Amino acid sequence: MSAAALTLTGVSAGYGGQTTVADVSLAVPAGARVAVIGTNGAGKSTLLRTIAGELPLLAGQMRRCETCARMGYLPQAATVDRRFPITVYEFVAMGAWQRMGVFRRMSPAVRQSIANALERTGLGAVSRRPIGELSGGQLQRARFARLILQDAAMLLLDEPFAGVDRPTREALMQLVDSWHAEGRTTLVVLHDVELVRQRFELCLTVDDGHAQLTPTAELLAVRPADAGTARHDFLRNALRA
pLDDT tens per residue across span 195-213: 999 999 999 999 988 999 9
Instruction: Give me the pLDDT at residue 20, please.
Output: 93
108-120 and 136-150 helices cross at what angle (nearest 10)? Answer: 140
Rounded Cα–Cα distance for residues 64 and 58 (Å):
17
Rounded Cα–Cα distance for residues 156 and 99 (Å):
18
Asked if residue 155 lies in contact with residue 185, where contact means CB atoms within 8 angstroms, the answer is yes
Instruction: Give me the pLDDT at residue 96, please.
Output: 84
136-150 and 166-181 helices cross at what angle (nearest 10)? Answer: 10
Rounded Cα–Cα distance for residues 50 and 15 (Å):
10
Instruction: Give me the pLDDT at residue 228, please.
Output: 56
Asked if residue 114 lies in contact with residue 96, where contact means CB atoms within 8 angstroms, the answer is yes
Q: What are phi and psi of 78, to 5 degrees?
A: -65, -15
Residues whose CB falls within 8 Å of the CB of residue 100, separated by 6 or more in sequence, listed in order: 106, 107, 110
Asked if residue 28 lies in contact with residue 172, where contact means CB atoms within 8 angstroms, the answer is no
Instruction: With H, G, I as helix, E, B as strand and everything else as coil, classify residue 150.
Output: helix
Instruction: Give me the pLDDT at residue 48, please.
Output: 96
Rounded Cα–Cα distance for residues 221 and 215 (Å):
10
* DSSP character at residue 192: B
Instruction: Give me the pLDDT at residue 129, please.
Output: 94
pTM over 0.75: yes
Q: How far is CA 223 from CA 44, 109, 207, 219, in A?
A: 26, 54, 20, 11
What single letter denotes the amino acid at residue 195? L
Instruction: With H, G, I as helix, E, B as strand and everything else as coil, classify residue 50.
Output: helix
Task: Name the class of domain 1-70+153-241.
Answer: alpha beta
CATH 3.40.50.300 domain residues, the chain: 1-70+153-241
Rounded to the nearest 5 degrees, what angle is found at the Cα of 122, between the Cα atoms of 88 and 176? 100
Which residues of the chain are modeled with pLDDT < 50? 1, 241
Instruction: Give me the pLDDT at residue 103, please.
Output: 56
| b/e 176-201 (16+ beta carbons within 10 angstroms → b) | beebbeeebbbbbbbbbbebbbebbe
